[in-house]
Amino acid sequence: MNTPLAHTPPMGWNSWNTFGWNINEELIRTTADFFIESGLKDAGYEYIVIDDCWSEKQRDENGRLVADKNKFPNGIKPVADYIHSKGLKFGMYSCAGTHTCAGYPGSFEHEFVDAETFAEWGVDYLKYDYCYKPKSADGENLYKRMGMALRNCGRDILFSACNWGADNVHSWIRESGANMFRSTGDIQDNWFSVKNIVDSQLGKQAYGGVYCHNDMDMLIVGMHGNGDNTEVLGSLPGGCTDTEYKTHFALWAIMNSPLMIGCDVRKMSSEAKEILTNRDIIAINQDIEVRGPYCIRQWNNPENVFALIKPLSGGDYAIGMFNFSDKKSEMSLQFFDIGLPAASGRGLELYDCYSHSVIGTFTERYAAQIESHDCVMFRAKVVKL
Which residues carry out catalysis?
A: 129, 186
Distance CA 65, CA 24 (A): 17
56-65's contacts with Cβ under 8 Å and 24+ in sequence apart are 56/104, 57/103, 57/104, 57/105, 58/105, 59/105, 59/110, 63/110, 63/113, 64/113, 64/114, 64/117, 65/94, 65/105, 65/110, 65/114, 65/117
Residue 122 DSSP class: T
According to DSSP, the β-strands at 329-334 and 346-352 are unpaired
At how many degrees (to 10) do helices 25-38 and 77-85 cross? 10
Is the separation of the CB atoms in 372 and 328 below 8 Å?
yes
Is the separation of the CB atoms in 169 and 183 below 8 Å?
yes
According to DSSP, the β-strands at 375-384 and 317-323 are antiparallel
Residues forming a β-bridge with 310: 318
Distance CA 202, CA 216 (A): 11
Phi, psi for residue 34 in degrees, rounded to 5: -70, -30
